[in-house]
Amino acid sequence: MQRVEMTGMERIVFHIDVNSAFLSWTAVQMLLHGEKLDIRTVPSVVSGDPQDRRSIVTAKSIPAKKYGINTAEPVSMALRKCPGLVVVRGDWEWYKKCSEAFIAICRTYSPVLEQFSVDECFIEMTGRVDKKKAFAAADALRRGIASRLGFTVNIGVGPNKLLAKMASDFEKPDRVHTLWTEEIPDKMWPLPVGDLLWVGRKSAEKLIACGIKTIGQLAVAPDNVMLHIFGPKGARTARDSANGKDDSPVCTQEEEAKSYSAERTFPNDISDPALLDRQLFNVACIVAHRIRKDHFAAGNVSVFVKTRDFISRSRQHSLTFPTDVTAVILNEARRMIPDVWDGVTPLRQVGLGVSRLTHDVPLALFEDEKMDYYRQWDAEYDDRMTALEKKDRHYRDGRSKALKFSYASGEKALKAAKASVREGAGRTMSRKPLPDGTDCFEVRDSEGEVLELHMVVSHLV
């Protein structure tokens, strides 16, 4: 990964987050088509079908929040809370255009840009602006997006990604906030511990039960409490985060393309080694197929798991020779599983990644005698996948028009999908991963049209 050399200067990172993205983008679309009412100024929500009260809320306006309306709840419930609520239909193709335009403007400020989601990104500003002028630069970017695209953003400015992200979540909408290292005691430490990035709901509940209610208290929490709640690695990460420490680089898309990974989030936590191995096999097949399709071989394999408490553990290992063979990648991952899992603790997610990619595959002098069989199996798998991808192209085009929802866990995605089925007559649900391996539950109407995709996205955890 590319890192910006500090050479004595303080690092500067911006985090840009669109305010109420789907609702704001819908408002802009409506205004462009002559609608006089700006739905951002009144209680309003975006949903699948405005005529169907059994559809669910995708996004809400700030005035709607005052009525206690929440995303992912049925529109019928939202209407009971606010009878005058304006309900509008979402348009994913339009959202995609808005997202691309937003990212393009941010990229003019820095080519080192990491898209964190469809409506937010990080940009590395170190060396492009000094600390004294960082706020003014961020404010110019904020105003530029509003004037050119018609919607507002919040921008957080800080010395790393963590603090920039925390700053952008301060008062909304249409604001620029800083969170420098010297501002942590006043701006971050008084916040509830659950507001700290990467601290999940269950971990926050455990911390509060131990008397740790604020981020500041977490920053100085006893080691034994931290180890009990987060484990050794998680404890270090949590303490560093609470103290505003983060050295992760802003990764450009080109850098991200230097590795491949896939993951599976389970609808129900699993503790059966055989079930875990089957899921590991599935993600290994996906990753190996991708690198063969792009004519790569991998020199490094990594594996990670996540517990029900969102504690992640990972290991990686370099291979003697680069490979694109599924069995070799899978067996290397299997050898690392005992290093990341005790075989008992319930798991909610497993993932596998490969890196150190090359187009040159050296000939191994002493290959496994089963290698010919492995390669034949891979060739047949690739043929099946290619046929399915061609056959499925029209189906995926239909999916692109569906409303998308993102969740931090398979359990939440499944629950929301089931709720949507219950709320709509004739609706059905099935678990069908996206082509890139993202775990997904799709909801169809009585005629088979895909209405909603409930996706598991790991960065939301």
Instruction: Name the residues annotated as catalytic.
Output: 120
The distance of Cα 297 from the centroid of its chain, to the nearest Å, equals 26
Helix (H) or strand (E) run with residue 262 in it: strand 260-270
Q: Is 153 in contact with 121 (CB distance < 8 Å)?
A: no
Report helix, strand or coil for 154: strand
Q: What string of DSSP letters covers 343-376?
A: SSS-EEEEEEEEEEEES--PPPSS--TTHHHHHH
Beta strands 176-178 and 153-158 are parallel
Length of the chain: 461
> 156: part of which helix (H) or strand (E)?
strand 153-158
Strand order in the sheet with 13-18: 113-117, 120-124, 13-18, 153-158, 176-178
**What is the distance between the alpha carbons of residues 283 and 270, in angstroms, rounded to a whole number?**
16
Counting Cα atoms < 13 Å in the Cβ hemisphere of 198 gives 19
Please report, for residues 153, 193, 265, the alpha-carbon distance to residue 188 in angstroms, rounded to integers and kept in the order given.
21, 10, 31
Beta bridge partners of 307: 347
Measuring CA to CA, how many Å separate 292 from each of 318, 362, 434?
A: 19, 15, 19
Report which DSSP code applies to 10: P
